[in-house]
Structure 1
């Protein structure tokens, strides 16, 4: 793969801001661009985003505008926005374009590859806690990383080496897992236990540092994921729950996961991709998932509460 010279990012939210400042500084205006249209484009061009106290105004291109395809596309949208994002990137995809879909969940790569082909799609996921609200993001860029690669990476392919070179040159922290699917399922399991528990009960990450009850719920949810993963040939175990303890005990106490941030800001959540996915897989495989069933319906109820459907209607 030739050197990556142009990158398009779609989704300048809590995950996108991890990449944007460093790629913009390394590649320069125009070579790094954010894909956005309509009111969002106008907002990004007029006010930009604030990342760790610095206001950034990145080059923005409209999805409908045809132009030079990007060497790399990074998709960092929410699950409910993925189908539209797959359509929006069409003018950015060329014969040699590579795509990283760094979203949460375990099936976004399959959805992107169904349209653009596996020859353009690599596996990826992120491990970092970022708080973002109203275009303002605060996080420690050295405290997390993006993981990417082929399904198996005992030897690195040319396209993996090309992205690795880009991240090395731009100072983006990364990892290339030997088994990317296992890594994605591990992150998914952690998200189920942490993200769903915090959202359901309205508590920050710090709850796991002080509450036995929060942890008991978290562990049971993660064990449901392990049962399903094992049935699907993914080798997760209690050891993976144990190795997450160091991470959870060192997260900033007041930080909140994405699903809780969404609920607090009156937005739709990604519960379908998290607990909903486990409930559906459990039903297909004959595996009971009572904790995730509770998460799914409980968080859906909180979304309904946010929508004000329980307010007395005028007669």
Structure 2
């Protein structure tokens, strides 16, 4: 698995907040849900997304935006329209003064808005907890990105629009996976577009030295790698590999490997049957104590506490 495929394999929505909004100007929504990552797709009409610190962006029919949280932002028919509603944690909407709007604006299953025949239709999918999105992926993303409709060709937005208002057994699982797939497709298209600001690890895959080294680290993360061992496998000197890897990827090879191992451990711990000892062996640590120390140093919690957070009920 390549570093790119591995990183995009990280999103795992769990009971994601998904909503179809049908709106008629003037409208403006202040988003204060503190979500780590949100996708907004314009199915019909136009919208503006206004983050507090990243400049406003226009969203036309077919465009998809990715907003990195947790800071608040505004979605509106016009940047000058003052907020008419505030969306808080769990998807609850109120007036700016705090009056509940959920019942008043309910238009059916996962559908919300001022009028069923409004001129603007948006789809919103929100990852509600940081554990659902790899922290390395979040670190590569700008505060706001918009993928224009004419820069990619995908049936995913129409499919999500079709599925979002269905009320069938297992529908939440279907929608979670569609949201994950849409995020992966959008980011792949965005990173690959001409003139795109792809992160260093993405560009590094085409490098004749760093590319093979990255593939080795991802295919065999538990191997006792050293910079010298990697250099021997890639046909480069130790100094040349270390310098080139750090230049392109943004961190030294062994630091990258540590972060890769811990991210893999965090994912493996999602399995309630996996022990810390077993996970340690799978990712290249000689003991559960060694894994726990490294895990806590990077993530701030022990592997067991991380697992407990994953199994806790979703926050409202």
Choose 1 or 2 for highest CA Rg. Answer: 2
**Which one has more relative contact order, counting CA pairs under 8 Å at least 6 apart?**
2
**Under a length normalisation based on structure 1, what TM-score does the superposition of the two structures give?**
0.27
**Under a length normalisation based on structure 2, what TM-score does the superposition of the two structures give?**
0.27
Give the number of the structure whose residues are more often helix, by fraction: 1
